[in-house]
A and B are shown apart, each in its own frame.
Chain A
Amino acid sequence: MSDLIDGILASKHRALARAITKIENRSPGYRDLVSDLHDHTGDATVVGITGSPGAGKSTLVDKLAKRYRDEGLTVGVIAIDPSSPFTGGSVLGDRIRMASTTGDMDVFFRSMSARGSLGGLSTATGDAVKALDAFGKDRIVVETVGAGQNEIDIVKTADTVAVLVPPGSGDDVQMLKAGILEIGDVFVVNKADLPGADRTVQELREMIETRNDYTADEAAHHGEEADPVIEAAGGAGATPDDADADEAEWEPRLIETVANSGEGVGELIEIFDEHARYLEESGERERRARVRYAEEVRTLLREDTNRLLEREIERRGGLDALVDRIVDRETDPYSVADDLIAPLEECVEDRERDGVRE
Chain B
Amino acid sequence: MSADQDQSQRTIRCLVAKVGLDGHDRGAHVIARAFRDAGFEVIYSGLHKSPDEIVQAAVQEDVDVLGISILSGAHNTLVPKIIEGLREYDAADDTLVILGGIIPDDDRPEIREAGVDAIFGPGASMEEAIEFVRENAPERA
Chain A positions near chain B (C-beta within 8 angstroms): 13-14, 17-18, 20-22, 24-31, 83-84, 87-93, 95-96, 102-103, 105, 108-111, 113, 115, 117-118, 120, 303-304, 307, 310
Contact = CB atoms under 8 A, between A and B. Distances in A.
A88 B44 contact: no
Contacts of A95: 43-46, 57, 61
Contacts, number: 115
Range of interface residues on chain B? 35 or more
Nearest to A15: B90
Contacts of A303: 7
B37 A111 contact: no
B9 A87 contact: no
Contacts of A24: 11
Find the residue from B37, B39, B59, B60 having the highest chain A CB count within 10 A. Answer: B60
Q: At the interface, is chain B mostly helix, strand, loop or mixed?
A: loop
Interface in B2-23: 2-11, 13
Given A27-B140, A108-B60, 5 more contacts: A25-B10, A26-B7, A90-B41, A102-B49, A111-B41
Interface of B: 2-11, 13, 32-33, 35-46, 49-50, 52-53, 56-57, 59-62, 89-91, 140-141
B43 A111 contact: yes
A110 B60 contact: yes
A151 B57 CA distance: 25
Given A87-B36, A89-B37, A91-B36, A18 B8 contact: no
A87 B40 CA distance: 8
Contacts of B44: 91-93, 95-96
Contact of B41 (A14, A108, A113, A310): A113
